[in-house]
Amino acid sequence: MSLRIIHGWKHLDAADRGAAVALGNFDGVHLGHQAVIGQAAEAARATGAPLGVISFDPHPRRLFQPDEPSFRLMTTDQQARALETLGVDRFHVLNFDFEMASFSDRDFARVVLHEGLGVRHVAVGFDISFGKGRTGSPEAMRAYGEEFGFTVSVAEAVGGEDAKFSSTAVREALRDGHPEAAAAILGRPFAIEGVVRRGQQLGRQLGFPTANVFMADYVTPRLGVYATRTRLPDGRLLPGVANIGNNPTTGEVETRLEVWIFDFDEDLYGQVIETQLIGFLRPEEKFGSIDLMVEQIHRDEANARAMLTP
């Protein structure tokens, strides 16, 4: 049975209600999130209920802190694919608007979880907060479960002694230029997905055609050059090297991903690709000439090929 994405919580068909759910933002679907989803999965097996995940779009931070720099770790499509690999049946995507933000923690439990989604079980993380003013806690959710007739489980922290696995830790690792540390928390490489746009075509003229993808709402990793693997629409996963930055040598200013897929020369314009950041090679720099830039790109290629060889 494949994952179903269900938008909203009002007037749902009976077939879309009654799941054992994990509740959270789940940006990244990292190993800590997977522990919460695992508890919901146990309840689903025990009760015979479908396994569901509840998340919010847009992320609540986008409503409350609209001027904050971009921070997302994945798109909704990437979230859905990650959840499907975990055996999730239903992905409940709830619109986080001013109505949702106005619910007290009790009203959220009653109106959304109980009356709207008809949940059988709710799994939450040890540090969850919910409801207006973020007044809800795991203990409050247990109390609401008893009141409204659903069971509740609370997942403990996952990670090392120094730091729990968290989306914040993933963002910090990426901003510091440590994609391997981010991957250790995520359980897979961080990946940027987007539509390939037309660029200046300079790379093609110089012998290394690049696919250009704008960063959109993704967190911005450390600017520079990375060894990458890019998944094409047909499922192929191909090695390459990418620059994330503003391209100071050629005068481009909008932060974007430019990936050169090795030994590949097919038309990708208008198609959606997903590029995994495997290792950081060097910071972005401005070169004195195009020739110097080309020499460095070939050194980057050699370093990336060595890093990506099993």
- Residues 188-220 have pLDDT tens digits of 999 999 999 987 666 677 778 899 999 888 999
- Which residues are within 8 A (CB) of 114 and not within 5 positions of it... i.e. 6 or more apart? 144, 148, 149, 150
Same domain? For 192 and 262 the reply is yes
Helix, strand, or coil (residue 51): strand
Region 274-281 average pLDDT: 98
User: What total number of domains does the chain contain?
Assistant: 2
Res. 64: pLDDT tops 80: no
The predicted structure's pLDDT at residue 108: 97
Same domain for 91 and 201, yes or no, is no
Residues with Cβ within 8 Å of 63's Cβ and at least 6 positions away in sequence, in order, are 96, 97, 98, 101
Average pLDDT (70-86) is 95
251, part of any domain? yes
Domain of 229, CATH number, reads 2.40.30.30
Smallest Cα–Cα separation from 35: which of 187, 171, 147? 187
Give me the long-range contacts of 234-242 (CB less than 8 A, separation at least 24): 238/262, 238/263, 238/264, 239/304, 239/305, 239/308, 240/264, 240/275, 240/304, 241/281, 241/297, 241/300, 241/301, 241/304, 242/275, 242/277
- Domain of 114, in residue numbers: 4-155
* 94 has a pLDDT exceeding 90: yes
User: CATH code at 151?
Assistant: 3.40.50.620
Tell me whether residue 66 is in a domain.
yes
Q: Are residues 151 and 234 in the same domain?
A: no
Closest alpha carbon to 39 in 126, 131, 117: 126
Please, are residues 172 and 243 in contact by the beta-carbon 8 Å criterion? no
Domain assignment of residue 179, yes or no: no
Last residue of a domain, one of 130, 155, 180: 155
Rg (CA), the chain: 22
Query: Considering 137, 155, 173, which residue would you say is the last residue of a domain?
Result: 155
At residue 60, does pLDDT exceed 70?
Answer: yes
**pLDDT tens digits, 130-144:** 999 999 999 999 999
Per-residue confidence band for 247, with pLDDT thresholds at 50, 70 and 90: low
pLDDT at 69: 83
**pLDDT score of 249 more than 80:** no
- Distance in angstroms (rounded) separating the CA atoms of residues 185 and 169: 8
Q: Is residue 92 pLDDT above 60, yes or no?
A: yes
Does residue 1 carry a pLDDT above 90?
no
| Residue count of the chain | 310
Residue 59's pLDDT is what? 80
Q: Is residue 237 part of a domain?
A: yes
193 plus 107 within the same structural domain = no
Q: What are phi and psi of 70, to 5 degrees?
A: -55, 145
Residue 170 counted as domain residue: no
Residue 49 pLDDT exceeds 90: yes
**Same structural domain for residues 122 and 250?**
no
- Asked if the structure places residue 172 within a domain, the reply is no
How far is it between the farthest Cα atoms of the chain?
A: 70
What average pLDDT does range 57-78 have in this prediction? 84
**Confidence label for 48 from pLDDT (cuts 50, 70 and 90):** very high
For 68, counting Cβ atoms within 10 Å of its Cβ (0-12 exposed, 13-18 middle, 19+ buried), the class is: exposed
Is 169 a domain residue? no
**Same domain, yes or no, for 44 and 128?**
yes
Q: Residue 6 pLDDT more than 60?
A: yes
Asked whether the predicted pLDDT for residue 238 surpasses 70, the reply is yes
Q: What does the pLDDT average to over 229-238?
A: 97
In a domain, 205, yes or no: yes
Q: Are residues 143 and 238 in the same domain?
A: no
Helix (H) / strand (E) element for 20: namely strand 20-23
Whether residue 280 has pLDDT greater than 80: yes
pLDDT, residue 275, reads 98
> Where does a domain end: 155, 180, 206?
155
